[in-house]
Structure formats: structure tokens, C-alpha cells
Amino acid sequence: MTSATRELIGLHARELLRDRRYFWFALLFPFGMAGIFLGIAQLLPEGGPDMPDFKQVVVPMALFLAVTGASLTVTAGPLAAMRTKGTLRLLGTTPVGRARLLLTHMPIRLAMVVVQAVLVLALALAIGAVPVSALPALLGITLLGLAMFGSIGYLIGGRMNSPDAATNVGTLVQLGALFLSGLAFPLYLFPHGVADALSLLPSSFFADLMATQLPGGRPFHEVWVSVAVVAGTTAVAALLAVRTFKWDQGEV
């Protein structure tokens, strides 16, 4: 690793940790939502076979929020903020290329998601929501989701000039994917035609991978199909993020 790369990783790490507005929210939000859904599971009586088990929703939802928080909340907005402050314009005058800038932006976010995922999976084991045998696969699926949503986050932050606008767009993507992919509410609760259409979203293929590792999960697609779609979406979004990245606000 060259000294320039190490310096860039350190720069991005300091930038993330100093921005408390984004960092602490993205770090703690998955656990807050997990607590809410665990509370709902305790309060609601057990339903029939078609009713969602909110206890089983906790794990995939918390992992999803960890992934999208790091990929969108603390990626798109802060990257646009660096453009607004002129930091990216200065970096654009150096030999640092677009690809290396984005690649060095991710390690601190990867570390953040790994810590969150380990804590979520430890909680899942404690409440008996997942078997021990599923832990490695769930961690791998989480990292695959980080790659996909991270590429989307860089695509958003790499183009937008306003940090608030980039954050709002990232939040819309996060909430839309959460509620329309079957993670918060299973797709089988939707009308058949709607469920079929929603199952074709890239986020739904990611949710399908989660479902393969959870008791009572109902994936719509084969594992290899879901992996191929998530990986393909990652590749396309990453290519677009690098090709369309702007150093300066006035750049066309």
C-alpha cells in the first residue's frame, strides 16, 4: 500500500468520525430499529402462518440498515459535502484518480459494517433467531450487500452538489429498498402481481439471500440467480460511479 493510499484512507476515516450528524445515526440506528421490532414481537400475539414473525424480521432488517447506513447515509452526503467544501477539487489536481479515491473511501465504512454485523449476529444468537451454521453466510451476504449499495451510494454522492440533497436521495433509496424488498414486510403479504414485480428489484434479490439463511425464510429466487443479480448490479453501479464522478461543482 503506497503512502498516498494510506493517507487517503486516514483522511476518509477522520472525515467520517468527525461528522457526528451522519456517523452516530448510521451506527446506532440499526440497533434502535431492532429494539423496536423486538418490542413489537413481544406485544403482538402469535398469528397464523401468513402473519410475519417480527422476531425473525429483526436480523435481516438490522443487517440491511447497517449496510445501507454505511453505503448511503455516511457515503453519499459526506462525499457531496467534500465537493461543496472544495476538498475534491483539490484532490482532483493530484495524481489521485477517481477509482482510487472511491476505493480508499470504503475501508472505514467496511470496518463499521463488520462491527455492526458482528453485534447484530451476536444478538441474533442470543435470542435464538438464527442457527450458528448460518453466521458465516449471513456475514458474507452482508458484505455483498455493502458492495452493491456502496456502489449506488458513490453513484449518488459522486454526482450531486448538495450534501442534504444527496442524503435525502440516499434515504429514499434506503427506505424504498427496506419496505419494497420483503425485509420489513414479507413480499407474500402483497398481492401476487405486485409481489412478482417487487421481487425483480435488486434489493429484493439481496433480501432473498438473507431469507435463505433464516428459519421460515421464503426466497423468490435461486441462490445463484440472486448472487448474480447483486454482483451484476454492483459492477454496473460501480462503473457508472467512477465514470460519472465529478471533482468540482461546476464540472460537466
Q: pLDDT digits over 121-138, tens only?
A: 998 888 887 888 889 999
Q: Answer for the pair 61, 41: CB distance below 8 angstroms, yes or no.
A: no
Examine residue 161 and state whether it is found in any structural domain, yes or no: yes
Number of independent structural domains in the chain? 1
Sole residue written with cell 440491511:
64
Mean pLDDT score, 221-249: 91
Percent of the chain beyond pLDDT 70?
Answer: 92
Is 252 part of any domain? Answer: no
Residue 28 exposure: Cα atoms within 13 Å on the Cβ side: 6
* Model confidence, pTM: 0.87
147 lies in a domain?
yes
Cα→Cα distances 238→109, 189, 195, Å: 16, 33, 28
SS3 percent helix, strand, coil of the chain, rounded to 5, is 75, 0, 25
What pLDDT score does 151 carry? 94
39: number of Cβ within 10 Å: 11
Most confident by average pLDDT, 41-45, 236-240, 246-250: 236-240
Question: Is 249 domain-assigned?
Answer: no
Has residue 216 been placed in a domain?
yes
Q: Which domain holds residue 175?
A: 3-244
- Is residue 189, in this structure, part of any structural domain at all? yes
Q: How many helices (H) and strands (E) does the chain have?
A: 12, 0
Buried b (16+ CB within 10 A) or exposed e, 81-108: bbbeeeebbebbeeebebebbbbbbbeb
215 CB-contact burial (10 Å; exposed 0-12 / middle 13-18 / buried 19+): exposed
Domain membership flag for residue 60: yes
Angle CA(237)–CA(242)–CA(248) in degrees, nearest 5? Answer: 125
| Residue 35 lies inside a defined structural domain of this protein | yes
Task: Give me the mean pLDDT over the 179-189 stretch.
Answer: 80
